Amino acid sequence: MALAGRTAMWWARLRSPCPAASSLFLPPWMFAGPVACERLYSSRDKEKIDMSMYPVESIRNFSIIAHVDHGKSTLADRLLEITGTIAKTDQNKQVLDKLQVERERGITVKAQSASLFYSHEGVNYLLNLIDTPGHVDFSYEVSRSLSACQGVILVVDANEGIQAQTVANFYLAFEAQLAIIPVINKIDLKNADPERVEKQIEKLFDIPIHECIRISAKQGTNVEKVLQKVIEKIPPPQCNTADPLKALVFDSTFDHFRGVIANIALFGGEIQKGHKIVSAHTNKKYEVNEVGILTPNEQATHKLYAGQVGYLIAGMKEVTEAQIRDTLFLYKQPVEPLPGFKSAKPMVFAGMYPVAQTEYNNLKSALERLTLNDSSVTVHRDSSIALGAGWRLGFLGLLHMEVFNQRLEQEYNMSVILTAPTVPYKAVLSSEKLIKAYGKAEMTIINPAQFPDKFSVSEYLEPTVLGTIVTPHEYIGKIIALCQDHRAVQKEMLYIDEHRVMLKYLFPLNEIVVDFYDALKSLSSGYASFDYEDAGYQAADLVKMDILLNGNPVEELATIVHNDKAYATGKFLCERLKDAIPRQLFEIAIQAAIGKKIIARETLKAYRKNVVAKCYGGDITRRMKLLKRQAEGKKLMRKIGNVEVPRDAFIRVLKRQTDK
C-alpha cells in the first residue's frame, strides 16, 4: 500500500449499509453534558434545539489539520467528550472512523462534521468542527473544507515533528487566510521534544513559539486550553441572518431511506422546513423537509441560521443534484453564488472490469451505490477486447483508488480487475481534422488507446505535482538519487532543524503513481514523509509504446511512457508477459515497440513435447475432465493473431508489482 495513513476522504458521513460500522455507532445522545454547557433541548424526538440561541458572534467554524498519525482523531475524540457531545469513556477511539477500511488502515475515509456546544466565560458557544482530509490525494478537498472555516488547529507530533503533510496543510490554511492554532501533541511520550518542534514551527511557519499549545490528546492534558484558543483566536463567520439565504453545499451523502443529505454552511439568512429553495447550479427547485446539525449524528433543528453548519434534506434523489460547491438560495430570492471550490480532479485513472462478465450487472450496481457516497470518483463506461465491458474510473490518487477498491470488496463483496493506473496526459492537437473531431485543440488522454500520434500533435503535456519530502538528513543522498531517477527537479531544500530536511521537488505525476512512496519509505527506514500537490502540466516527450505478440499489437498493454523510460518499461513488460503466456505450438516473439521501432524483445519458445505419459483405463476419466476444461479455457482465451493469451495474463502483467 502506498501512501497509507490516517486521513484521506474526510467528509461525508457514512450511511451506506456497513455491518462493521453498526457496532461502532455512537452512544445515545447525551441528555446532560458532564462538563461545560447545559443542554438546550431534552431529547432528539421531542424538543428540537433552538439554533437562534447561537448568533453569529458565538459561532466558531474550524478544522483540525495534521500529518498522518499525529493525533487528529484522538484530539477530535477529546473535544467531543469535553463538550459533552459524546460520553466520556475509554472506548472513544477514532469515534468518527466507522468503516472497516478505516479501522484496518487507521485512516479516515469518510469524515464527520460535529457541532459542539461549549460555555466559556458565561457565553454559550457553538463550535463546528469540520474535518479536513489531510491526505495528499485530497488536497482539493482540504480547500473545500477550509472554505467553510475561519480557523484551523494544526496538530504536530512532539516526537516526529513537522512532516510533509503538516507543511502542505499549513500552506492551504495559510493561503485561505485562516487563523492557525499550533498544537504540539503527544507530549506524554518518552521521546517527546516539544521544544524542538516549536522551533521548527517558528522557523518554517513563522509562528511565535509562545503560541504553541503543548497537549496530550490521549491523556486529555491541555485540551480544554485548545478549545479556549479556538474561541479567542478564531473569528466568527462574517455573515448576517438578515441577509437572504445563501447556503454552500460542502458535502453530500446518500441515504437509502431519505435520499440525498447535503451538508451545508450558511453564509447568510436562515433556513427551515417548508422553505422553497433553488440550486444555483441546476436551477432546480426543492422543498426543505428537514434541517439540523451534526453531533455527529444528525440532530434535527427548527432552523439553521447564518454562520451555522448543518445538514439539509430536500427531496433530492441523486447525489449529483447536491453538487458540492453549489449555492442554495430561496425561491425567487436569487443571490450571487459563492465562489465554487475546484471540483474533484482525478489524478489517476484505471480500468475496472468484473472478474467474469456475468458479474457485470452486480458490479455496476455496486459501483453506482458506492459512488453515491464518494462523488469524487469519476466513472466512464469502457470496454476492452480482453477484459470485456467495464469502466474507466478516475481517482484522486492511488490511496483513493485502493480504498475505493477495498470498500467495493468489503461493503459490496465484489472483486474486480483493476488495470494499471495511468495519469491524465494531454495533447495539444495540430491536426485540423482531429481538432474538429475532438471539439477543441487540447485533448486529455485518460486511456492509452486514445493517444494521438505525434504527427497530429504539436505538444504533449504531462501532469506534474510539487512534492514535499521531510526526512532525517542522513537519507538525503539516497532520496535525491531516487527523485532524480523519477525525473524530478529540485525546487527547494531547507533544514527545518539540525537533523531534519525539507525537500521540494517537481515530479511528473506518473513517476510517483506506482512505487515512489514505497521506495521512499523503504530507503529511509520509514522516516521520510511525502506529500504532494497539483502543479499543473508541463511539456513532455511522450510516446505510446505498443506490446506486440508475433507482430500483432496487444491493445490492453499499450502504455504512454516518457521517451527516456520507454526502454526499461518495455523490457519489464515483455519479461512479465513471457511469464504469463503459456508455451504454444510455435515460437512467440514478445516485443515492445514505439511506432515501428522495436525496443525490447523476449522469445517464448515453442512446445516441443506436451503429451501425458500414461493414459490407461484408470486414467481416462481424470484425463477427459482436464482436457474438457482446457477446451473450455480455449474459448475464453484472447487471441492475438495466432497467439492464445489467457485472460488473467494481462492482469498479471498490469498488476502493480508487490514482489519487486
Partner 1 sequence: WPYCRKRCSYCNFNKYVVPAVDEVAVGTCLVQETRTLLRLSQVQSITSVFFGGGTPSLASPRTIAAVLEAIAGAAQLPIGAEVTLEANPSSADTLRLAGFRAAGVNRLSIGVQSLDDAELLLLGREHTAAEARRAVEAARGLFPGQTSLDFIFGLPGQSRGTWARALEEALGLCDDHISLYQLTLERGTALAAQVWSGALPTPPQDFLADMYQTACTMLVAAGFRRYEVSNFARKGAFSTHNLSYWRAEQYIGVGPGAHGRFVPWGEGSHSREARIQTLEPDDWMREVQSQGHGTRKRVALSPLEQLEEVLALGLRTDEGITHERWGHFSPHLSLEAIFGVPGEAKTLEQQGWLVLDNGGLRCTWEGLALLDSLLPDLLCQLQR
Q: Assess contact for 260 and 317: CB atoms under 8 A.
A: yes
Q: Which region, judged by CB under 8 A, interacts with partner 1, from 298-306, 443-451, 509-517, 602-610?
A: 602-610
630 is an interface residue for partner 1 by CB under 8 A = yes
| 19 or 617: CB nearest partner 1 | 617
Q: Which region, judged by CB under 8 A, interacts with partner 1, from 41-49, 95-103, 304-312, 606-614?
A: 606-614
Please tell me the count of residues contacting partner 1 according to CB under 8 A. Answer: 28
Q: Residue 17: which region, alpha, beta or left (left: phi > 0; alpha: psi -120 to 50)?
A: beta
625 is an interface residue for partner 1 by CB under 8 A = no
User: According to CB under 8 A, which residues from 523 to 552 bind partner 1?
Assistant: none
User: According to CB under 8 A, which residues from 380 to 409 bind partner 1?
Assistant: none
| 399 or 580: CB nearest partner 1 | 580
- In degrees and rounded to multiples of 5, residue 563 shows phi and psi of -50, -40
Among 23, 177, 358, 610, binds partner 1 (CB under 8 A): 610
Count of CB atoms situated within 10 Å of the CB of 272: 15
Closest CA to 512 of 378, 345, 347, 401: 347
Grid cell listed for 1: 500500500
Q: Which region, judged by CB under 8 A, interacts with partner 1, from 296-304, 363-371, 560-568, 600-608?
A: 600-608
614 is an interface residue for partner 1 by CB under 8 A = yes
Q: Which region, judged by CB under 8 A, interacts with partner 1, from 257-265, 267-275, 335-343, 582-590?
A: 582-590
CA atoms within a 13 Å half-sphere pointing along the CA-CB vector of 137:
30
| 276 or 628: CB nearest partner 1 | 628
621 is an interface residue for partner 1 by CB under 8 A = yes
Q: Assess contact for 14 and 98: CB atoms under 8 A.
A: yes
433 is an interface residue for partner 1 by CB under 8 A = no
DSSP state of 371: H
**Cβ at position 625, least distance to partner 1 in Å:** 11
Edge-to-edge strand list for the sheet holding 259-268: 285-287, 276-279, 327-330, 246-255, 259-268, 309-313, 290-294, 298-301
Q: Which region, judged by CB under 8 A, interacts with partner 1, from 394-402, 411-419, 535-543, 626-634?
A: 626-634
| 539 or 606: CB nearest partner 1 | 606
**Cβ at position 587, least distance to partner 1 in Å:** 13
| 596 or 608: CB nearest partner 1 | 608
Q: Which region, judged by CB under 8 A, interacts with partner 1, from 50-58, 71-79, 446-454, 580-588?
A: 580-588
Characterize the bridge pairing of strands 179-185 and 213-214.
parallel
636 is an interface residue for partner 1 by CB under 8 A = no
Q: Write the CB contacts of 449 (distance below 8 Å, at least 6 apart in sequence).
A: 555, 558
242 is an interface residue for partner 1 by CB under 8 A = no
Query: Which H, E and C letters describe 379-447, residue by residue?
Result: EEEEEECCCEEEEEEEECCHHHHHHHHHHHHHHHCCCEEECCCECCEEEEECCHHHHHHHCCCEEEECC
Q: Name the H helices within 234-359.
A: none
Q: Which region, judged by CB under 8 A, interacts with partner 1, from 136-144, 282-290, 407-415, 624-632?
A: 624-632
| 331 or 607: CB nearest partner 1 | 607
**Cβ at position 647, least distance to partner 1 in Å:** 16
Q: Which DSSP string do the residues of 29-46 spell out, in sequence order?
A: PPSS-SSSSPPS-S-SSS
616 is an interface residue for partner 1 by CB under 8 A = yes
| 285 or 628: CB nearest partner 1 | 628
Q: Which region, judged by CB under 8 A, interacts with partner 1, from 220-228, 353-361, 501-509, 631-639?
A: 631-639
**Cβ at position 388, least distance to partner 1 in Å:** 20
Closest CA to 151 of 61, 67, 75: 61
| 276 or 639: CB nearest partner 1 | 639
What is the gyration radius of the CA atoms in the chain, in angstroms? 28
| 436 or 628: CB nearest partner 1 | 628
**Cβ at position 578, least distance to partner 1 in Å:** 14
659 is an interface residue for partner 1 by CB under 8 A = no
Among 276, 342, 628, 652, binds partner 1 (CB under 8 A): 628
Distance CA 126, CA 341 (A): 25
Chain centre distance of CA 120: 37
Among 23, 46, 257, 611, binds partner 1 (CB under 8 A): 611
455 is an interface residue for partner 1 by CB under 8 A = no
Characterize the bridge pairing of strands 276-279 and 442-445.
unpaired
31 is an interface residue for partner 1 by CB under 8 A = no
- In degrees and rounded to multiples of 5, residue 289 shows phi and psi of -95, -35
Q: Name the H helices within 486-540.
A: 509-513, 516-523
**Cβ at position 611, least distance to partner 1 in Å:** 4
Among 35, 356, 612, 636, binds partner 1 (CB under 8 A): 612
639 is an interface residue for partner 1 by CB under 8 A = no
Distance CA 212, CA 283 (A): 46
Q: Assess contact for 496 and 206: CB atoms under 8 A.
A: no
Q: Which region, judged by CB under 8 A, interacts with partner 1, from 148-156, 169-177, 347-355, 622-630?
A: 622-630
Distance CA 25, CA 32 (A): 19
Count of CB atoms situated within 10 Å of the CB of 163: 28
**Cβ at position 633, least distance to partner 1 in Å:** 7
Helix (H) or strand (E) holding 329: strand 327-330
Positions in the binding site for partner 1 (CB under 8 A): 583-586, 605, 607-618, 620-621, 623-624, 627-628, 630-631, 633-635
